[in-house]
Structure 1
Amino acid sequence: MEQVILDKLSSNFAGKFVRKDLTKKIKEGANVPVYVLEYLLGMYASSLDETLVSQGVENVKNILARNYVRPDEAEKIKARIRELGGYTVIDKISVTLNASKDCYEASFSNLGLRDVQISDEYVKKYDRLLGGGIWCIVAMEYWYDENNRMNSPFVARKVDPIQMPGLDIDDFKDARSAFTTEEWIDLVLRSVGMEPTHFSERVKWLHLARLIPLIENNYNLCELGPRGTGKSHVYKEISPNSILVSGGQTTVANLFYNMATRTMGLVGMWDCVAFDEVAGIRFKDNDGVQIMKDYMASGSFARGKEEKNASASMVFVGNINQSVDVILKTSNLFEPFPEVMGTDSAFLDRMHCYLPGWEIPKYRPDFFTDDYGFITDYFSEVMREMRKISFSDSFDPFFKLGMQLNQRDTIAVRRTVSGMMKLIYPDGNYNKDDVEKVLRFALEMRRRVKEQLKKIGGMEFYDVNFSYIDLEEGREEYVSVPEQGGGTLIPEGMGKAGHLYSVSYGKGGQLGTYKLETQISSGNGRFERTGIGSDREAKEAMDSAYKYLRANAKNISQSISLATKDFVVHVQDLNGIGMTAVLNLPTMIALCSSLLNKPVLPSLVILGDITIGGSMIKVENLANSLQVAKDAGAKKVLVPMTSAADLGTVPPELMGTFNLIFYQTPEDAVFKALGVE
């Protein structure tokens, strides 16, 4: 770390930072979470003086050697408590209520003790003792009562959870202004143990996004990727406020609410509940996934006659075993989820963010920092405190979201923006460029969810062309996901059979891009149109296309049979300008493409239309139509021969960007669109 940053750290965060190589060195000898080690290092070795640091490290080592309970030495520690009458231990303890005795009893994870007497005051003060347990420094006593042999002789006399005392969040915010954005991001990454100099800016941001569930209430994040990329590290090691549920069976009582004991489950005790290895998640209760869906959507769930509220974020991490390219061609990116979740589009639609884990490189030893960062326990408390405020409206003065984002999309994007802004700009000092960068990132993370939902749920999730509008300049910017292709409306590469793009005038008199998607199934010749609302002209144009094809199908291919199939053609208004009636020819080509299972040429836009009898209708305003096609990302344009006379109105530089393909009849248009000579 540069000396100037170190000076800023020591003058603004004295006693709240630690050298991370110290954590690594001690961690290798003691299997305790990072936040436990750094709590101790913060007490004894938070200094820039090398001599004091060395003494502090020795102190921490001695404390761990004396007091940390290793499972294989549990009996030795128990004996020591008995012989000395008392002894201080560091262990993870959880508490349960023994209703028959009307008292609380503690269980020690490594010490292996159960039914240990513990005062009610600690349970009231630290309610997470009841929900999975927390690491504590415990002063133990030993009292054996011959008259009451039913009680354990072990007593937890004094319990100190391993947590930072006191926090002034305003001091933290004020100190942020001493750092540049780049310095601050690097400091945050070092605080969670990573060395930012080994990462690109994109990978740094993906690491930051892993922290959003810890700083944002009711945030649902999914990260699937290769093994060895640290997906569960943050939720297990870094924060005492999150719990990692390893893959396997769980119950509604454990996760949400126990009706028998009338106690909240994990979502009421923790800031973040993370599920490791999503492929193994199983609910013993039939209604488990349904309750989870309810909670992920609203932050509440119904149990018995009551509705319960909680603020815990949900994180789902798991492994992808194939390359992303293969999965995108053969399945969807939610494939690792168990079937009951992975095929439930309503469940997956609750995800606010899909983090592309495959973009994070596999961890090497040098990816872990030796430099200075916040004591993780301190930073965890900062994140916990920041959950009380929201930055979700931070982009409103500069931008508004595009037409294709529905209510769930908007909530997801706003929560991601809020989380990232709190991580990077907790003091609220940011400009338009800063918030635009965060907004683009948030739109991409949600669009990844929507793109996969479109594969799973079909037409219901057709609105995936996410955009935002600059209020000052009036420009609309589209945001893509890298694995899906470029940032234009028309992605590069071969599309699916039955999918195509056209450019024409909408109801409002503006030129826009329209996408047609066709679904085909066995049936008896039924034809449905979706996406056009109650637009009578659009309906009539699509019906005409179907009737024309039914009468002339044999002119295109002898293998086409409409009588044994049912069709759904969905029209998307990609620019939000209103529906078009120029749908006769595009519908006919989309149906033929689907029937012949042959995609149209890549990056193709269809211009022009046909009458009910099959005559050509020339393109209205060819030059402007070609400009819209270019902006949408078209490389090839299908043009009626009747518009050839208008080519003189098209600027040469615009004409040079396309491969223009002319057609003379509807059948000719089909052949050329499908690349059939």
Structure 2
Amino acid sequence: MDEECEVNESTREIIKDKLRQNFDGKIVRKDLTKKIKEGANVPVYVLEFLLGQYCSSDDDEIIEQGVKNVKRIIADNFVRPDEAQKILSKLRNNGSHTVIDMITVNLNMKANIYQASFSNLGISGIEIADEYPEKYDRLLSGGIWCIVQLSYEYVEEEKKNSTPIKIMKLTPIQMPHIDIEELKEGRKAFTKEEWLDIMLRSIGMEPDELTYREKWLLLTRMIPLVENNFNLCELGPRSTGKSHLYKEISPNSILVSGGQTTVANLFYNMGRKTVGLVGLWDCVAFDEVAGIRFKDKDGIQIMKDYMASGSFARGKEEKAASASMVFVGNINQSVDVLLKTSSLFDPFPPEMGTDTAFLDRMHCYLPGWEIPKFRPEYFTNDYGFISDYLAEFIRELRKEQYGDAIDQYFRLGKNLNQRDTIAVRRMADGYLKLMYPDGNFTKEDVEEILQISLEMRRRVKEQLKKLGGIEFYDVNFSYIDNETFEEHYVSVPEQGGGKLIPEGMCNPGQIYTVSQGKSGMLGVFRLESQMLPGTGKFERTGIGSDRDAKESTNTAFNFLKANGNRISGSIITTTKDYIINYQDLQGIGMTGKLALPTLVAMCSIALNKPTLSNLAILGEISISGTMMKLMN
């Protein structure tokens, strides 16, 4: 244990030294943030910027003095909205005053001047020198927090045309400009493990307390911030920090607390002709998904349209936006119980949680139950990026694209449809941008990211299969190595291993069989069945025009019609329709030996009973019931 602590300590020192060399002034000790944040209602990113300026040292005295300076600056200059008039009065009486406020600059084209608006102070139309918006471009795009020195001079002759308030000096206390090339260059100094630790410390977490997988799961939460139009869902126990990142860490995301919302608020206000939250923020996160309600009947339909295409139609025109959607909520039962009784989307309101078209638009389902409940030791006291710097370089990375890196080394398996492919590519793109912003990654790095991306999307698909049945049968996600042509299957941990025939009980009507395919090679085939009220018809999909396959499946159905009562009195063939989908899991060509597995599948679905765990059907049956063994 002591040795492990020493290793962690030396690793931290190495990382700290590298951060100092490559990102000096852009890092902060996260425990200082916690100390001041507890007593000051200032955004974390503003606080950390000030701490980065005044406390960038290892000397305890300098740090202590720096903390005092930051506290004094906040106490003297931070504008609380309810004290705006008091500050303005002080400004008028003294003739000058320095404030900390969120400043947004607009170009007044009629007067050909730049004008500033003060968020908390509640004033606007204040003329500002051209040098500031030119130097600090973020003033023009959403605004930034600044320390502003104001003067007050009332001139009788100018009262109609101007305001008595003038801006004497403006100093940003957020990153006024991000040099993405500097970040890419700095990244080269760190290993993969070091960079992963830095990213987690930057959002306040202590990686030394987490497993390697938990680190990657926490990193996954950041993908909606770095990827345009990315839809993520995370459901899990309480106290795992699901909404913390979107509320506290990034100034570019907004957390919509559970409850009612409107199309006007979220998408587009027809009356005011203004775009809603999706046009104003990089990420819109919904807290407590169980409480999501739209006052408008068409709300969910518009959301589905937006989640699929990044655009939505309102009135006569179509609007586009790039905000990602995040849905977080609590699971009240264990995952095992949910998997047996309903689906992992159960906490969603019924109009969302059972709508397969809506759920299919989720790119990623993050297993929140695998993330530990946060205790004090999970929060770091070490160095990480200033939140504002982190948020801004992540925002800049939204413009980059690394998703096609997969194609250099791998191709995706045939079970992935277009939506699956888009989801996996976007996820891989997000991971690569977060972990390798400099674009330097190996085949092994891409494979690691591809595996977790496939897993996150497969989790969505597995639940869709449970809700939508045979329509979503293709859940055996895989990827193929371009060099060796080896196919690797990716599973979800909560539903068995990455084997063609999964461990544990299958659903009723789900059967695996092993026999010779058209190519003469032995392969694994899967049957998925459904039974519906009908007139005794038998439909099959997935076998195309293969004559042998059709004949063998007909043999099974005819045998069941003739002998169903002998197998069980509960089997009905005259008032039920049977549908079976056949899947060639290894792409060797469909087998013609399907009578016995088809018969077992139909019996299983008719009786609503699953087969034995890990069962594979071998052999064949004739119309008279004669069993024939598998010939190799």
Pick aligned residue for 1:426 from 398, 418, 437: 437
- Output one character per residue of 1:240-259: Cα deviation in whole Å (capped at 9) or x when no partner: 11111222222222222223
3-state SS, counterpart of residue 393 of structure 1: helix
- In the alignment, does 2:335 pair up with 1:324? yes
- The corresponding residue for 1:17 is 27
Alignment of 1:405-424 (within 5 A): 405-424=416-435
Distance in 2 between the 1:405 and 1:293 partners?
A: 20
- 1:375 CA displacement: 0.9
1:3 aligns with 2:13: yes
Q: In structure 2, what is the equivalent of residue 488 of structure 1?
A: 499
Work out whether residues 39 and 163 of structure 1, in 8 Å CA contact, stay in contact via their aligned partners in 2.
yes
Shift of 1:193: 0.8
Shift of 1:393: 1.7
* In 1, Cα distance between equivalents of 2:176 and 2:552: 70
Contact 2:260 2:295 in 1 (8 A): yes
Q: Deviations over 1:303-352 (max 9, x none)?
A: 22322222221111111111111111111111111222212211111111
Residue type at the aligned position of 2:78:
Y
Aligned counterpart for 1:66 among listed residues 51, 73, 76: 76
Match of 2:302 among 279, 291, 296: 291
Superposition pairs of residues 597-676 of structure 1, within 5 angstroms: 597-621=608-632
Secondary structure of 2:75's counterpart equals helix
CA distance in 1 between counterparts of 2:126 and 2:422 reads 43
Question: In structure 1, what is the equivalent of residue 3 of structure 2?
Answer: none
Q: Specify the alignment match of 2:49 in structure 1.
A: 39
Structure 2 contact 415–478 (Cα < 8 Å) conserved: yes
C-alpha displacement at 1:288, in angstroms?
Answer: 1.9
Residue number in structure 2 paired with 1:630? none
Distance 1:390 1:375, change over 3 A: same
Cα deviation 1:188-241 (Å, max 9, x = unaligned): 111111111000000000111111111112211111111111111111111111
Output one character per residue of 1:490-512: Cα deviation in whole Å (capped at 9) or x when no partner: 22122222221111222333322
Distance in 2 (CA, whole Å) between partners of 1:150 and 1:590 is: 85
Is residue 569 of structure 1 aligned with residue 580 of structure 2?
Answer: yes
Q: Is the 8 A contact 1:245 1:275 kept in 2?
A: yes
1:625 maps to what in 2? none
CA, structure 1 residues 559+271, in 2 after alignment: closer, same or farther (shift >3 Å)? closer
CA–CA distance in structure 2, aligned partners of residues 39 and 415 of structure 1: 31
Change (3 A) 1:552 1:24: same
1:530–1:137 Cα change, 3 Å: farther
Task: Identify the residue that residue 400 of structure 1 maps to in structure 2.
Answer: 411
Instruction: Tell me the residue number matched to 2:347.
Output: 336
Per-residue deviation, 1:263: 2.5
8 A contact 2:138–2:144 mirrored in 1 = no
CA–CA separation in structure 2 for the residues paired with 1:343 and 1:118: 52
Sort the Cα spacing of 1:558 and 1:31 in 2 relative to 1 into closer, same or farther, 3 A: same
Question: Structure 1-normalised TM-score?
Answer: 0.83
Aligned mate of 1:543, from 542, 551, 554: 554
Moved more, 73-82 or 565-574: 73-82
Task: Determine whether 1:364 maps to 2:372.
Answer: no
CA RMSD of aligned residues (A): 3.2
Partner of 2:590: 579
Q: Shift in Å at residue 72 of structure 1? A: 6.9
1:559 aligns with 2:562: no
Q: Aligned residue for 1:640? A: none
1:32 counterpart letter in structure 2: V
- The answer to whether the Cα contact below 8 Å between 1:444 and 1:480 also exists between their aligned partners in 2 is yes
Alignment of 1:149-548 (within 5 A): 162-548=173-559
| Alpha-carbon shift at residue 556 of structure 1 (Å) | 1.2
Instruction: Flag structure 1 segments of 5+ consecutive residues without an equivalent.
Output: 98-102, 622-677
How many angstroms does 1:83 deviate by? 4.2
Q: Which amino acid aligns with 1:39?
A: F
- Secondary structure of residue in 2 paired with 1:469: strand
Task: Give the 3 Å change call, closer, same or farther, for CA 277–509 of structure 1 in structure 2.
Answer: same
Deviation at 1:90, TM superposition (A): 3.6
Question: Secondary structure of 1:519's match?
Answer: strand
Contact in 2 for aligned 1:15/1:47 (Cα 8 Å): no
- Post-superposition Cα deviations, 1:618-651, rounded to whole Å, max 9, x if no partner, equal 3120xxxxxxxxxxxxxxxxxxxxxxxxxxxxxx
1:175 CA displacement = 1.4
- Alpha-carbon contact 1:504-1:580 (below 8 Å) kept: yes
Q: Do 2:362 and 2:460's aligned partners in 1 also have CA atoms closer than 8 Å?
A: yes
TM-score of the superposition, structure 2-length normalised? 0.89
Unaligned runs of 5+ in 2: 1-8, 108-113
- For 1:439, what is the secondary structure of its paired residue? helix
Partners in 2 of 1:156 and 1:222 — Cα distance? 47
Structure 1: distance between partners of 2:520 and 2:222: 46
Name the amino acid aligned to 2:198: L
Report if the CA contact (8 A) 2:103-2:116 is conserved.
no
Q: The residue matched to 1:394 in structure 2 has which SS?
A: helix
1:13-41 Cα offsets, whole Å, 9 max, x none, are 11111111111110111122321211221
The answer for the alignment partner of 1:663 in structure 2 is: none
